Structure 1
Amino acid sequence: MKQEILIVDDTPINLVLFEGLVKKLANCSSTTFADPVQGLLWAQAHTPDLIVLDYMMPNLNGIEFIQRLRSIPGKENQLILMVTANDQKDVRYQALDAGASDFLTKPIDRLEFLARTRNLLALSAAQRKLSDHALTLAAEVRVATADILQREQETVIRLSKAAEYRDPETGAHILRMAHYSQLIARGLGVSAADQDLLLHAAPLHDIGKVGITDNILLKPGRLLPEEFELMKKHASFGYEILKDSKSSILQAGAEIALGHHEKFNGSGYPQQLRGEAIPLFSRIVAVADVFDALTSARPYKPAWSLEAARAHIQSNAGEHFDPACVAVFLELWDEVLVIRERFNDQEDDWTTLLNTLL
């Protein structure tokens, strides 16, 4: 691949001289401009290996050229060979401050020009090689990071599936409430990264139910007070299972597991947190989980109508639920219905459904 040298000098005879010298360099080509403004425009749009730049030019001198070029993102390391007169020491100091890489003095010495340009071109080639290597490494890191993220997400899926084996809730329920949660987070202005984190962590909200005995977990009727006290422990169980993980998804899942049964008025469990003391993800999941639980049939209850469940959520804003989460949920009602239709219980296949989280 040929290396390219941009030459900017307002004196035509100098352009001819420089072009002739460049031809003596192996595998090099030159682009020339007598107008420094046009040369700067070209340099902004291209990435030459070296710029040979005269200082004394009309409209835009060499130092101004360098300053403008260096101010452009991506041009900070452009190699520039400044051409000055022998008595212009102050100019050379200013050019160094502006970002000149090296100097030539007039009258141009042919051997010196060839030596300095070869050195700078070798440096340019090394810079490009290093940059290409950095891009390759960045691409490899992205691939490795994506692989790690997919493994984390698979862990979430398998943990969620383990809980599902102990609980009459379906895979479709897990996906609906996770997508409802993401929807609410988006409406609240949560960052895209945290929306995605919530989508993948929300399915872990009830992982602690693996620690609840079958006679309580699968009881078809209403739980006795002492049974309900045991059932409430699933929130703490889930937190204990997930809390020490280094995975951001499992850490978020631990927070959600612990806090999604807290109530905005402080009457929830296990810590009786109130208002914004309840973590945001837990406040969001509380709305999503209760709504889907109400509208889903279970062995111990029929499904509520959408209208009845919506009214329940709305009437409990400020009591059970964060009013801001409820407001967003109702505002995005049409999208809620789309999610409900997309993940229906008739397509309750874990492999198919949970692949949507990968």
Structure 2
Amino acid sequence: MHDEYELEVVKMKQDLSSEQMLSVIFEYTAKIANERILDNVLILMANMGREMVVADRCSVWLIDERTEELFTTVAHGVKEIRIPLNSGLVGMSISSGEAIFIDDAYTNVPYRDVLLSGAIAVDKRTGYHTKALMVVPFRNNEGRIIGAYQAINKLTEAEVFSNKDLEYLKLAASYSGKSIESVMLQQEIEETQKEIIFTMGEIGESRSKETGNHVKRVAEYSYILALGMGISQEDAEKLKLASPMHDIGKVAIPDAVLKKPGKLTDEEYDVMKTHTTIGYNLLKNSRRELLKIAAVVASQHHEKWNGRGYPNGLKGEEIHVYGRITAIADVFDALGSERVYKKAWELDRILNLFKEERGQHFDPKVVDAFFEQLPAILKIRDAYQDAIPEASA
């Protein structure tokens, strides 16, 4: 009779969509950010990793420098485990600083000896069957390796982890190392949150017709405009960090609408406009200040000074200043960027439009700041140019 380690018969699952991935990340990072008990953080970390890569089990291993051991208080299906510092796949990964990626533990040649004395030996005792494995080391804020993630058995029909899974686990590992140290030392984890916000902003843009440089430029433009309007450097920096999330709601827009090369129908345009409320709803419940700001930007960057924007028809100063700033930064970049479906507008044409839309689409004060800061804005545009896309055949 098998004990608590016995593998249950599990129905095959599907890889997460971009929207589901975002929901998982936002849910767990919000919980982790407010947790100060190490064991609880490790549980959240393991659960986050398992959901992100659709694994059966996920372990978060830490180095105990005092005893020169590796230990995990959270390994799905098992209790605390302690092993010598350099033993097993986890020890090898931590020692080398490199990820380990195995499709089938029973046929793998390079790590056969380690597997025979580790995972396969445990399988014989427990009745579990280990197939696919990933191990990814993580580092603290100083770049020193302090532990590793280990994911076991992919629960999709493929039954093996993909390179994308490896990247997702690396993202989780990057957050984990810094967060665990933060909990242990009672330090903030803002830097990692900033990285995740920017990465998620790029994911949102990658589904549409924009490029990663679009979010970089909009972030920099927003920062310059905020300073130009007399906003403090601290608050301008917050806007710069939050603005990459302005179009995050696009992850839930159907490809047929999002990637349509021609003009949208009225019905399709109504669907496209929902990206503002979707983005807001993804972010609004976070207790973290940056994500609260990102929620405002996602919701309001298509509002217009004259009240004819969307989704709520806000007017004038009813629109948060962060939304008013991001609006002009986003439009300037969109019009000035070449895409496979359109040519970039000439600078004079964009400037004339902004003059015409001063007090209509855009806050007059933001437009004035834009023209005052134009040399710095053009410098940013030149520094983050896109590669010109090739037209499809």
TM-score range, shorter chain: 0.5 to 0.7
Amino acid at match of 2:192: R
1:19-168 paired onto structure 2 within 5 Å: 148-168=189-209
Amino acid at match of 1:327: D
TM-score between the two structures when normalised by the length of structure 2: 0.51
The total of aligned residue pairs comes to 209
Aligned equivalents of 1:300, 1:347: Cα separation in 2: 12
Which of 217, 220, 225 is the equivalent residue of 1:184? 225
Pairing 1:236–2:277 present = yes
Aligned equivalents of 2:293, 2:249: Cα separation in 1: 14
1:133-282 paired onto structure 2 within 5 Å: 148-282=189-323
Cα deviations by residue, 1:234-272 (Å, 9 ceiling, x for unpaired):
000000011111221111000000000000000000000
Structure (1 or 2) with the greater helix fraction: 1
Report if the CA contact (8 A) 1:207-1:257 is conserved.
yes
Report if the CA contact (8 A) 1:167-1:217 is conserved.
yes
State the Cα distance separating 1:146 from its structure 2 match: 7.3
Aligned equivalents of 1:145, 1:343: Cα separation in 2: 37
Aligned equivalents of 2:200, 2:258: Cα separation in 1: 17
State the Cα distance separating 1:173 from its structure 2 match: 1.1
In structure 1, the partner of 2:9 is none
State the Cα distance separating 1:144 from its structure 2 match: 6.4
Deviates more, 1:317-326 or 1:162-171: 162-171
State the Cα distance separating 1:165 from its structure 2 match: 2.6
Report if the CA contact (8 A) 2:204-2:250 is conserved.
yes
Cα deviations by residue, 1:161-200 (Å, 9 ceiling, x for unpaired):
2212311201111111111111110011101110000000
In structure 2, the partner of 1:342 is 383
Identical amino acids, percent of aligned pairs: 43
Larger Rg: 1
Amino acid at match of 1:284: I
Amino acid at match of 1:237: I
Cα deviations by residue, 1:18-38 (Å, 9 ceiling, x for unpaired):
xxxxxxxxxxxxxxxxxxxxx
Aligned equivalents of 1:239, 1:246: Cα separation in 2: 14
Runs of 4+, deviation exceeding 3 Å: 143-147
State the Cα distance separating 1:298 from its structure 2 match: 2.1
Aligned equivalents of 2:344, 2:352: Cα separation in 1: 14
Question: SS at 1:318's partner residue?
Answer: coil
Cα deviations by residue, 1:96-123 (Å, 9 ceiling, x for unpaired):
xxxxxxxxxxxxxxxxxxxxxxxxxxxx
Question: SS at 1:194's partner residue?
Answer: helix
Aligned equivalents of 2:245, 2:324: Cα separation in 1: 15
Report if the CA contact (8 A) 1:206-1:235 is conserved.
yes
State the Cα distance separating 1:308 from its structure 2 match: 0.9
Aligned equivalents of 1:145, 1:286: Cα separation in 2: 37
TM-score between the two structures when normalised by the length of structure 1: 0.56
RMSD: 2.2
State the Cα distance separating 1:145 from its structure 2 match: 8.1
Q: Which 5+ residue runs of structure 2 have no aligned equivalent?
A: 1-180
1:276-355 paired onto structure 2 within 5 Å: 276-346=317-387
In structure 2, the partner of 1:354 is none
State the Cα distance separating 1:335 from its structure 2 match: 0.7
Question: SS at 1:338's partner residue?
Answer: helix
Aligned equivalents of 1:146, 1:260: Cα separation in 2: 33
State the Cα distance separating 1:346 from its structure 2 match: 3.2
Aligned equivalents of 1:182, 1:306: Cα separation in 2: 20
Report if the CA contact (8 A) 1:177-1:288 is conserved.
yes
Aligned equivalents of 2:187, 2:277: Cα separation in 1: 31
Question: SS at 2:191's partner residue?
Answer: helix
Report if the CA contact (8 A) 1:164-1:170 is conserved.
yes
Report if the CA contact (8 A) 2:229-2:369 is conserved.
yes
Question: SS at 2:382's partner residue?
Answer: helix
Aligned equivalents of 2:333, 2:313: Cα separation in 1: 23
Aligned equivalents of 1:153, 1:329: Cα separation in 2: 25
Report if the CA contact (8 A) 2:205-2:250 is conserved.
no
Aligned equivalents of 1:347, 1:157: Cα separation in 2: 23
Q: Which 5+ residue runs of structure 1 have no aligned equivalent?
A: 1-139, 349-358
State the Cα distance separating 1:310 from its structure 2 match: 1.5
Question: SS at 2:340's partner residue?
Answer: coil
Report if the CA contact (8 A) 1:295-1:303 is conserved.
yes
Report if the CA contact (8 A) 2:339-2:388 is conserved.
no
Aligned in 2, Cα 1:208/1:145: closer, same or farther, shift over 3 Å?
A: farther
